[in-house]
């Protein structure tokens, strides 16, 4: 399995992965989405088949120049679940954010969504309370000088 970030020019790859999304992607919307570098869309492939995706949008802050990654949505095609696809997608996203100096990544989920909660916990996300909807991946120690 390999994970690839989709960029401007990859619109057709997104349309071919329509089965992964709750609502079918449209060409104009996909083009606009990919043309904004703050949007990150990663697809996981088994051979030439798209089997999972994660997408997020980077946010600026007021107290720090370090960015945050808002992980908006993740999904894996049913026959490919429980094989580490989502884990690979999250790890690839976090690695990219770490390399680009992000403060943290965060994601919201329904605490009743056991697969999602277990995925986020097993990949290192933290909550303040067990019932929290927000899961946070801290990405830098805070010991570096402020930026």
Ligand X SMILES: CC(C)(COP(=O)(O)OP(=O)(O)OC[C@H]1O[C@@H](n2cnc3c(N)ncnc32)[C@H](O)[C@@H]1OP(=O)(O)O)[C@@H](O)C(=O)NCCC(=O)NCCS
Segment near ligand X (CB under 6 A), from 5-13, 68-76, 95-103, 133-141? Answer: 68-76
Binding ligand X by CB under 6 A: which of 8, 35, 95, 122?
122
Cα 45 from Cα 7, distance rounded (Å) = 16
Closest separation in Å from C-beta 13 to ligand X: 19
Q: Is 93 in the site for ligand X (CB under 6 A)?
A: no
DSSP per-residue codes, 33-61: HHHSTTEEEEEEEETTEEEEEEEEEEE--
Q: Is 83 in the site for ligand X (CB under 6 A)?
A: yes
Tell me how many residues contact ligand X (CB under 6 A): 19
DSSP per-residue codes, 94-107: HHHHHHTT-SEEEE
Helix 85-99 × helix 114-122 angle, to 10°: 50
> Which positions touch ligand X (CB under 6 A)?
73-76, 81-87, 109, 113-116, 118-119, 122
């Amino acid at each position: 399995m390999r994970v690839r970030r989709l960029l401007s020019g990859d619109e057709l790859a997104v349309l071919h992965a329509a089965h992964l999304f709750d609502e079918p992607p449209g060409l104009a919307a996909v083009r606009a989405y990919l043309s904004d570098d703050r949007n990150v869309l990663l697809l996981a492939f088994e051979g030439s088949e798209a089997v999972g995706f994660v997408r997020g949008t980077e946010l600026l802050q007021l107290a720090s120049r370090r960015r945050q990654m808002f992980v908006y949505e993740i999904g894996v095609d049913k026959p490919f679940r429980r094989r580490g696809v989502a884990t690979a997608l999250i790890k690839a996203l976090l690695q990219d954010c770490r390399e680009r100096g992000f403060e943290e990544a965060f994601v919201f989920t329904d605490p009743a969504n056991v697969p999602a909660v277990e995925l986020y916990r097993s990949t290192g996300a933290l909550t303040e309370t067990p019932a929290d909807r927000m899961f946070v991946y801290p990405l830098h120690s805070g010991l570096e000088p402020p930026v």
